[in-house]
Amino acid sequence: MLAQHLPALQVVIPLLAAPLCALFRRGFIGWLIAVAATWLAFAAAIGLLFRVLNEGVISYAMGGWAPPIGIEYRVDLINVFVLVVVSGVGSVIIPFARTGTAARFNDTDQAWFYAMYLLALTGLLGVTITGDAFNIFVFLEISSLASYVMIAMGRDRRALTAAYQYLIMGTVGATFIVIGIGLLWAMTGTLNLADLAQRIPEINDTRPVLAALAFLTVGISLKLALFPLHLWLPNAYAYAPAVTSAFLAGTATKVAIYLFLRFFYTVFGGGGFFESTPLPEMFLVLSVVAMFAASTVAVFQDDVKRMFAYSSVAQIGLITLGISYVSETGLTGAMTHLFNHAIIKAGIFMLLGGVMFRMASVKLEDMAGIGRKMPFTMAGIVILGLALIGTPGTSGFISKWWIVLAALEKDQWWLVALILLASLITMLYVGRIVEVAYFREPSAKAADVREAPLAMLIPAYVLVIATIYFGLDTQWSVGLAQRAAADLLAGIY
């Protein structure tokens, strides 16, 4: 009975928990509700994963209204993979959220913060699980609006401008997406993704459909921060509270990547159509530029959070590069990196949150000598940084390995060289932090800081350990990604 309604529960649990947090107006109670709701959502995602593995694609008619009249929730291997990542990262972050939030906000604001967190989670899970195009737009707006608030709650006044920037860019993106969806609806008369997937391939060379494709491409690329549409991201990540940065870095861009895959591979009809457009080449070029430009900019950042924000743009470039190959190996690499990068980046932002909590700064110069003052925090950042570089024994190596394999499959040696050269640049900025943190005398600010509180360290270390674990055992990351990639290419939905 319960298992039957898992697709609905996946979204409904955090959705109902959000107003509950707001009603109680007590930080601690709000936090308890948030913990319960995110963990239940994670459990639901795991439950769905096993159901999909056993039964194949699940179709769930919301409210008993059968599609195409009602809204269909459709769970296959591809989106259940993303559901697990999003709810998993969400539930590791929430225990971490308590310490920093309680120290900075009054009771009411704390409760609001958790409500926003849950709404953002609801939106992202909704986008991922729904099988209805307009529903995607609705959930996308829910998650975006909630995340604007979450960014604006940063301690720095610049967080307000960052949130405003994101609001404008995000709204532009959402508008493009809704125009694209509208055009598709006008041409096919349906909003159901599965129906769209059946009807569009017949008419996918008509002008409105191509226009829809263009609008969707730009809109989704804005959301996933593909170079050069990434400009909202660095400030948003840099000035938001640690919880927000970790959450957005681990989930929001990943869901946008899922949308990208879903529209281009499923709705527009498998890999064939994608390959017949100039999109793969376009994405290849933009991805490579993203990897180099963003990494290079990252090297010269003096704010470590901003540095890793630019690093995110580069890593997203690596994911879209994998997608642009339109091959099973490439997609496997991309989806694996989606999984691995979510864990790595969320972990880094959480550890930086601990630094921020102790020193009220994440400026590189202030972090001088911090390696001795906060040994566990810095060790974690080093391990996760190594994963970003792609050192063997960490999950980052695995995703890079697959993406390199995919380049090799197409005999594109120059791409192999470019991917690895980009890793070198990653090494530069990670190395910069290591050198400052371990081999400089402590800065004035770092002179009397202590290790971050355990309540912040333990959740972050869950992700650090996961990064190593998924570097050595890949049956859940690569194994699932590979099956999902095969489904995507075949256009199975």
Partner 1 sequence: MEPADHILLAMLIPTVGALLIVLTRRNPNLREAVTLATAGLLFVNVLQLLPVVLAGGRPELSGFEVTPGLEVAFQVEPLGILFGLIASFLWIVNSFYSIGYMRGNKEPRQTQFYVAFAVALASALGIAFSANLFTLFLFYEILTLSTYPLVAHHGDAKARRGARIYLMILLGTSIVFFIPALVWTLAIAGTLDFTPGGILAGKASGLTTGLLLALFAFGIGKAALMPVHKWLPNAMVAPTPVSALLHAVAVVKAGVFTILKVSVYIFGSDHLLATGASEWLVYLATFSLLAASVIALTKDNLKARLAYSTVSQLGYIVLGAAIATPLALIGAGMHILMHAFGKITLFFVAGAIHTATHKTEISQLNGIGRVMPFTMGAFFIGALSIIGLPPLGGAWSKLYIALGGMDGEYWFVVAALMISSVLNVAYLMPVVVRAFFRPPDPDDHGHGDAHGDAAPVPETGSLRSRMKEAPWLCVVPLMFTAFACFILFFAPDAIEGLLQGMLEVPR
Give me the residues that bind partner 1 (CB under 8 A), please: 386, 389-393, 398, 401-402, 404-405, 408, 413, 416-417, 420-421, 423-424, 427, 431, 435, 438-440, 471-474, 478
With beta carbons less than 8 A apart as the criterion, state whether 434 and 393 touch.
Answer: no
In the complex with partner 1, which residue's Cβ is closer, 65 or 414? Answer: 414
Beta carbon of residue 349, minimum distance to partner 1 (angstroms, whole number): 23
| Beta carbons within 8 Å of 255's beta carbon, 6+ residues apart | 82, 86, 124, 127, 128, 143
In the complex with partner 1, which residue's Cβ is closer, 177 or 370? Answer: 370
In the complex with partner 1, which residue's Cβ is closer, 182 or 393? Answer: 393
Beta carbon of residue 243, minimum distance to partner 1 (angstroms, whole number): 30
Beta carbon of residue 420, minimum distance to partner 1 (angstroms, whole number): 5
Tell me the two tokens of residue 3.
Answer: 């298992």
Beta carbon of residue 42, minimum distance to partner 1 (angstroms, whole number): 25
Q: Which amino acid is at 108?
A: T
In the complex with partner 1, which residue's Cβ is closer, 383 or 463? Answer: 383
In the complex with partner 1, which residue's Cβ is closer, 285 or 408? Answer: 408
Beta carbon of residue 403, minimum distance to partner 1 (angstroms, whole number): 11
Beta carbon of residue 83, minimum distance to partner 1 (angstroms, whole number): 23
| Beta carbons within 8 Å of 162's beta carbon, 6+ residues apart | 151, 152, 154, 232, 235, 236, 238, 239, 240
In the complex with partner 1, which residue's Cβ is closer, 351 or 403? Answer: 403
Beta carbon of residue 417, minimum distance to partner 1 (angstroms, whole number): 7
Q: Is the peptide bond before 459 cis (omega within 30 degrees of 0)?
A: no
The b/e string for 326-360 (b: 16+ C-beta within 10 A; e otherwise) is bbbbbbbbbbbbbbbbbbbbbbbbbbbbbbbbbbe
With beta carbons less than 8 A apart as the criterion, state whether 362 and 350 touch.
Answer: no
Phi, psi of 326 (to 5 degrees): 50, 45
457/383 Cα distance (integer angstroms) = 14
Tell me the two tokens of residue 46.
Answer: 């795991």
Which value, to the nearest 10 degrees, does the dihedral of the CA atoms of residues 283, 289, 295, 300 take?
A: -140
In the complex with partner 1, which residue's Cβ is closer, 197 or 288? Answer: 288
